[in-house]
Amino acid sequence: MSKHGKILVGMSGGVDSTVTALLLHEQGYEVIGVTLNILDYTYAESRVHNPCCSLDSVMGAKEIADFIGFKHMIVDIREKFSETVMEGFKEEYMRGRTPNPCIWCNAEIKWKGLIQTADEFGCEKIATGHYARTDVKNGRTFLKRGVDPLKDQSYFLWALDQHDLSRTVFPLGEMTKPEVRSIAFTRGHVRMANKQENFDICFVPDNDYRAYLKDVIPGMEEDYKGGNFVDKNGNVLGQHEGYMHYTIGQRKGLGIALGIPMYVTRINASKNTVELGEETDLIRNGMIVGRLNPMKYDQIPEMEAVTMIRYKSKGVLSQLKRQGEQLSVEFLANTKGVAPGQSAVFYEDDDVIGGGIIMESL
């Protein structure tokens, strides 16, 4: 009989999930390890070279489970991952947006798969190796930043709902990455302790999203090549390779020389135009955020908050105002590179108020 009952641990084969499982096992939980198979192994190894999805990582997770002494299984969610995350990635680029597929993979694929498996095996809780924390106030479970500012991953988890959060524990939320590696090393998992991290999109070969889109969008080059680069007044500056080749803030690889550094400032999918401007033209006063998910409060209130518009950004103090089902966000300091399709996450000190998708910049 275990001391704390059963807990399901998502295991990728990396050091973070390994230490998560190890710590919970040492605390007396009956650990069940699960690796979610989201890509064909041959695709992961031959095309994207991503260790998180390779057969080697899966077998590494199983070996760790066997060594420590708990059950491990593989759950196949390839079809749902393809339909939800990979198709969504393509569709967002076709809309002229810059998506972050990890957000929806966490909320729609990983957590749903883990919780469904936990229910099947009688586990009340699940655990992952993310660097984040949770808290409960007024009957609501919400995220807090991880204590390691270099590894805090709360930004990627804003779309988790109340049920997801109430079922989840984050054993690494109070730890730093060096501490986690040290635990793996001192427990004898030397190779795992030194394992390098991979930050690429797991299904995009060589992290080259343009090449990936060419593979999955028939006729992309033929249909969209030759659209116009324009300035902020609509004057034509030259022709581009197709609007989905570009992202907000991009400077390199534009294929056009105008004598001064130029950046992508806006993308218009319906007109197949890409607006270019100087660096100061990237500055925005605010944005509209939709697809909101409240966390700390039952709805995101009108208040001042720190807003992050990309992972590892410092965040900017902002005024949040309700606008129907969306938020109008006014930046209280100059902010550059606001990209529709990316996530905006709102913080009150270390607490996650909620988040959403950037719909347009202002």
Which residue spans of the chain are classified as CATH 2.30.30? 225-277
**What is the CA angle 106-112-115, rounded to 5?**
120
**How many residues comprise the chain?**
362
Q: What is the CA radius of gyration of the chain?
A: 22
How far is it, in rounded angstroms, from Cα 345 to Cα 362? 17
The pLDDT value given to residue 40: 74
Catalytic residue among 52, 102, 105, 123: 105
CATH fold of 6-129+171-206: Rossmann fold (3.40.50)
- Note the pTM of the prediction, 2 decimals: 0.93
Q: Which helix H or strand E contains 312, and what residues bound it?
A: none
How far is it, in rounded angstroms, from Cα 303 to Cα 285? 17
How far is it, in rounded angstroms, from Cα 360 to Cα 338? 8
Catalytic residue among 52, 53, 102, 202: 202
- Is beta strand 140-145 parallel, antiparallel or unpaired with respect to 132-137? antiparallel
Q: Which helix H or strand E contains 183, and what residues bound it?
A: helix 177-186
Strand order in the sheet with 263-268: 236-239, 228-230, 273-277, 263-268
Give Cβ neighbours of residue 109 (< 8 Å, ≥ 6 apart). Answer: 36, 38, 77, 80, 81, 84, 85
Which residue spans of the chain are classified as CATH 2.40.30.10? 282-361
Q: Is residue 278 within 8 Å of 262, Cβ to Cβ?
A: yes
First to last CA, the chain: 58
The pLDDT value given to residue 81: 93
Q: What is the CATH number of domain 225-277?
A: 2.30.30
The pLDDT value given to residue 51: 53
The pLDDT value given to residue 195: 77
Number of Cβ atoms within 10 Å of the Cβ of 217: 16
Please list the ranges in the chain whose pLDDT falls under 70: 1-2, 41-55, 199
Active site residue 202: yes
pLDDT tens across 56-110, in order? 777 888 888 998 899 999 999 999 999 999 999 999 999 999 999 999 999 999 9
Which residue spans of the chain are classified as CATH 3.40.50.620? 6-129+171-206
Integer angstrom CA distances of residue 238 from 12, 94, 244, 256, 277: 46, 21, 16, 7, 13
Name the residue with tokens 């218009």: 268
The structure tokens listed for 153 are: 């991953």
CATH 3.40.50.620 fits 282-361, yes or no: no
- Is beta strand 125-127 parallel, antiparallel or unpaired with respect to 6-10? parallel
The pLDDT value given to residue 197: 75
